[in-house]
Structure 1
C-alpha cells in the first residue's frame, strides 16, 4: 500500500498557555486534494504554519507531534526545510514584494544567473540575472494559472485577485513541488477566476501533486476535494469523503450548531426613492481596476450590489470615491453636497465610510490594539471619543466601552480590546475593519469583499449585520463582491461593471445567464434614470 504523501500525527500547539491545537491527525494521499475547513480561530493557519516551518512556531516554543512525508519522518524547522521537502504554500496574506516585478517575485531565491567575465574568474556570485530565461519561466507559470498579464509589471498597485494568482504561479514554478498548501486561495477571486483555479487544482492533482485546500467557501471544497477534515477549537471533529458531505453537515460540524445559510428576506425599498449618491463620469486610476467614465445613481436606503469580472473596475469605484486612488468626475451626496475627489477627509466628512478589500494594506494599523483600530478614524475625522475640556483629551474609557461592544456584536475572537491586531486571524482582522467603519456612523457604507477570509458562521453574522444596519438604521450600503450568490442574498439590485463602465443593473432574481452575459459585455440593461 502506497504511503501517504503527508501524515500529521498528534500535532498539538499552545501559545502562552492557550491550547490552539489538540492532537490533530491528518493524512493526504499522493495526488489527493484534501479540504481543511473550520471557523476562524479553529487552528487551520497554525497547523499550516507548523507544516511550513514558519518562525512564529519555533519562536513560541515549537509544537508536539510528528510529521511524515511519503512514509518518512521529517523535521520542518523553517520554510527552507519545507521547500527542500517539496512543500509549497500560498499564504492567506500575500508574501509578495511590491517593489519587484512579477517575474522577480516568481523567481525570488531561485534566480537564474548567467556567467560573465568576472563570475568566471571570481565565482558565481558575480554573475548577472538572466532575465530572458526568468521571464520565460514566469510566463509559463502565469499561463498555468491563466493569468494574462505582462510578467515584467511591478506588483505594487495590482488588484488583490491578480496578486493571488501570482502567489500560486510562484509555487507552480518550483520543479520539486510535491505538496501544495492553499490557504484561502479563492477568497479574493471572482467566481470565474475561482473556477479557473479549481481546474488548475484538478490538473495538478492528476499530475500527482497533493493539495491541502483551506477555504471558507464550502461549495468549492465539496466540488474539488476528495476528502475533508473539519477543525473546531483546535480539534478534529470530522473526517469524511466529499461524496458524503453537504454544506449543512460541514457548517454544523464547524460551528457546533445548525447554521441557516439560506437567502435572507430583503426589505423592499421605494422604487422612486431619491438618490443619496450621484456619480457622473467617474474615472479612477487604480492599476488593474480602472474606472473609465462610470455614471450611477444610488437610491437612499437600498443595498446596491456591485459585481463584475476581475480587472473591469468594480473594486476601483469605492477606492476612487474614498480618495485612495487618483480620481476625477462628479460625486454628490444628498444633504452634504459635492464630494472633493482625491480627499479621504472630504469623503468621510460627507457621511461615507469604507471597508477595503485589502485589510492589511489599507484597513488596519497592524501593530496597534483592537480598540485603537476601531476608534482611530472616528477620532481623527469626526472628533469622537474626546472629552471636551479646554484642551481636548482622548476619552479612553469611552473607547474601551465601544470596543467591547463591537467585539461582542461582531464576535471578534480575541483576548480583549488591547490585543494587537497583527496577532488576530485573518477573518477577525476583517471584523475589526468593519467595526472601524461602523464607528463612523455613516449614512453611506461602501463594503468591498466584506466576507473575504471569513468562515460560514462569521459570514452570517457580517451579512446579518449589514442587513440590520440597512433596515433598522437606514444606512445605504454599496457592496462589492466577487461572489454573485452573496450579492443576491442581501442586495436589492446588482450593478454590473464592464471595462470600467456600468454595463447594466439587474434584479437579484435575474437568471445566471443574464448575469453571465452582462459580465461578458454581451448584454446591456442600463435603464432610463440610472444616470
Structure 2
C-alpha cells in the first residue's frame, strides 16, 4: 500500500546566477508527522522553504527544477497567498505582527469574522461590523491550545519576544484549512520551560492530523519532538533518519560535516576571581521594560570575568542590559570603574566603554537596508570618530579602512554573505546576529553585554560565537555579561551565573553547581527553601 504524504518535494534544484544552492533535494512529510529539517546557515533550508511558499525571489531569478506535490497533487505555487490557500502555513522566526493591534486582531488578521448590521443590509457586506465576540472566542481557543495565559484583548506592543512567538503560532493554528505548518526556529526566543510547552503543543497539533515541518538548531528538541529528521549541508541532502535511529552527536556531525566539540571553559583556564575588583557595580537597579521589568537588583561584575544572567521569560533578565544601555527607562545606581554611569543615555553608555548585542537584532541591532560593512562600523564611527579622514573642518568616510575591517570581521566570525557590500536585510537570521556581534566588537569595549548571542544560529555557528566570547575574555581580558535562555550555554562559558526571578537576583552559582539549585532558583524557590532550613 502506497504511503500518503501531505508534502513531497522531489529532486529540487535551484541556482542563483550560476551558484547552485540546492542540488537534487527531496523531502516527504506525512499527515500528523513532525519532521525536523536541519542544516547550518547557508545549507539551503531557507531556499527550500521559499520554493514551497512560492516566494517572489524564486520566480524572479529563473524559478527552480524539480516537483512539489501537496496531497499527491502536483502544484506550482506562485505566491505565499497561493500557499495559504492550499493549506500551508508558516510560523516565522522574525515576527509578522502588528504592534498596535491586540492578540485577537493579530490572530484573525485578513480572516476577520463579520456580522450584518442595518447599513450593510442595505449597502452590502463592505459595511459589516466585526464580530468581535466570535473572533475573541477563536483567539482564546488557539491561545489555550498553546497553554498561554495571555488575555486576547492585550496589545502586542510591549510583549516579551517569547510571548510574541506564541501569538505567531496561535495565528497559524487558527486557520481552518491548514494541512502543513512550517515552524521556522520557533523556540529561538523561548526559555527552556516555554520551549517544553511548545513541544507539547506541537504534538497536540500533529495529533489532530496537521503535518509539521520543524526547522530548528536545537538538536535536543529534535530528539524530543520529531518523528523523522532530514539534514541538509551545502545545498545537498545528507540524510533522512527516523528519530530512534539517531542522536544529538550524530545529527551534529551530519549537519557540519565534522566532529563538534562542545565549548567549555576548562577549570584550568578559569581564574580565581574572588579577590578581583569589580568593574561594574549595580545597586537598587530598576528597569521599566514591558514584560521584563527589573525590580531592584544588586549585582557586582568582576573585571575580566564572563558573568552569565539566566532565568525564565518575563522575570527581568533581559531588562538588565537594556536598562544599563539606556534602551528602556531605568533608575538606581550603576558604577563603572568606580564612576557613576549616567543612566537613560545610550550614547554616554557607549562612550564609557560599554557595548551591547541586543536580543532584538532587527528592531535594535541592525540597519537592515545598509551594507554589512556599514553596519559593522557605524556605531564606532559615531562614538569614536574612527573610520573617518579629517579634511579641514570636514570628515570624510575612510572607505578603504571600512572595507578592510569589514572583510576581517566577516572572516573572523564566518559571516556567510556575497561580500561586505551585501545588504544586511538579505542575510539569514544567524548571519544577521553575527553582524550585530561584529558591530559591538568593533567598539573594543571594556564590558560587552550580549543578550541571547546565539539566538537563531546553527550549531556550528553557535560554537564559533561561544568560542569567540571565551577567546575575547581569555586573550583580551574583556569583561562579558551574557544573558541567555539556554542554561547549558551559560554553564559552558561563564565563570558565574546570576539567576533572575521576579525582577531580582535569586542567587549566583558556579557553572558546576547542582542542577537542583539552578532549578530552584529559576522557579524562585531557592531563597525560600534555604531560609527555611536556616531557621
Q: Give 1:323-334 correspondences, 5 Å limit.
A: 323-334=326-337
Equivalent residue for 1:125?
Answer: 126
Equivalent residue for 1:155?
Answer: 156
- The alpha-carbon deviation at position 436 of structure 1 amounts to 0.2
Match for residue 441 of structure 1 among 441, 444, 462:
444
Q: Give 1:485-500 correspondences, 5 Å limit.
A: 485-500=488-503
Equivalent residue for 2:386?
Answer: 384
What is the total number of aligned residue pairs between the two structures?
526
Equivalent residue for 1:141?
Answer: 142
Equivalent residue for 2:315?
Answer: 312
1:482 equivalent to 2:481? Answer no
- The alpha-carbon deviation at position 9 of structure 1 amounts to 0.8
Equivalent residue for 2:26?
Answer: 25
Deviations 1:367-421 (A, max 9, x none): 1000000000000011111224423322111111111110110001111111111
1:399 equivalent to 2:402? Answer yes
1:274 equivalent to 2:293? Answer no
Distance 1:2 1:483 in 2: 39
8 Å CA contact 2:263, 2:466 repeated in 1: no
1:457 equivalent to 2:446? Answer no
8 Å CA contact 2:451, 2:484 repeated in 1: yes
Change (3 A) 1:526 1:226: closer
Equivalent residue for 1:221?
Answer: 222
Match for residue 288 of structure 2 among 245, 261, 285:
285
Equivalent residue for 2:522?
Answer: 519
8 Å CA contact 1:294, 1:500 repeated in 2: yes
8 Å CA contact 2:263, 2:493 repeated in 1: no
8 Å CA contact 1:504, 1:525 repeated in 2: no
Equivalent residue for 1:252?
Answer: 253
1:508 equivalent to 2:518? Answer no
Equivalent residue for 1:204?
Answer: 205
Distance 1:214 1:426 in 2: 13
- Which segments of structure 1 move beyond 4 Å, counting only runs of 4 or more? none
Distance 2:140 2:461 in 1: 38
- The alpha-carbon deviation at position 448 of structure 1 amounts to 0.5
Deviations 1:293-319 (A, max 9, x none): 112111111111111110111111111
Distance 1:159 1:519 in 2: 18
Deviations 1:185-236 (A, max 9, x none): 0111100100011111111122211110000111111221111111011110
1:472 equivalent to 2:459? Answer no
- The alpha-carbon deviation at position 13 of structure 1 amounts to 1.7
8 Å CA contact 2:35, 2:226 repeated in 1: yes
8 Å CA contact 1:502, 1:526 repeated in 2: no
Distance 1:464 1:167 in 2: 33
Distance 1:162 1:60 in 2: 36
Equivalent residue for 1:358?
Answer: 360
Distance 2:21 2:363 in 1: 27
Distance 1:381 1:269 in 2: 34
- SS of the residue corresponding to residue 203 of structure 2 reads helix
Equivalent residue for 2:101?
Answer: 100
Equivalent residue for 1:345?
Answer: 347
**TM-score, with normalisation over the residues of structure 2?**
0.96
- The alpha-carbon deviation at position 60 of structure 1 amounts to 2.7
Please list every run of 5 or more consecutive structure 1 residues that lacks an aligned counterpart in the other structure. none
Distance 2:62 2:283 in 1: 57
- The alpha-carbon deviation at position 272 of structure 1 amounts to 1.9
Q: Give 1:415-430 correspondences, 5 Å limit.
A: 415-430=418-433
Distance 2:455 2:408 in 1: 23
- The alpha-carbon deviation at position 496 of structure 1 amounts to 0.8
Distance 1:192 1:174 in 2: 26
Deviations 1:150-178 (A, max 9, x none): 22222222211111111011111112121
Equivalent residue for 1:9?
Answer: 10
Distance 1:276 1:184 in 2: 36
- The alpha-carbon deviation at position 471 of structure 1 amounts to 0.6
RMSD: 1.5
Deviations 1:133-152 (A, max 9, x none): 21221121111112212222
Distance 1:153 1:53 in 2: 33
- The alpha-carbon deviation at position 262 of structure 1 amounts to 5.2
Distance 1:293 1:132 in 2: 41
- SS of the residue corresponding to residue 244 of structure 2 reads helix
Deviations 1:479-507 (A, max 9, x none): 01111000000001111111111111111
Please list every run of 5 or more consecutive structure 2 residues that lacks an aligned counterpart in the other structure. 531-535
Deviations 1:445-502 (A, max 9, x none): 0000000111111111100000011011111111011110000000011111111111
- SS of the residue corresponding to residue 475 of structure 2 reads helix
Distance 1:467 1:58 in 2: 43
Equivalent residue for 1:231?
Answer: 232
Equivalent residue for 2:412?
Answer: 409
- SS of the residue corresponding to residue 37 of structure 2 reads strand
8 Å CA contact 1:75, 1:81 repeated in 2: no
Distance 2:55 2:167 in 1: 21
- SS of the residue corresponding to residue 12 of structure 1 reads strand
**TM-score, with normalisation over the residues of structure 1?**
0.96
8 Å CA contact 1:318, 1:354 repeated in 2: yes
Deviations 1:40-76 (A, max 9, x none): 0111111112112223222333222211112111222
Equivalent residue for 1:53?
Answer: 54
Distance 1:328 1:135 in 2: 38
Change (3 A) 1:472 1:262: closer
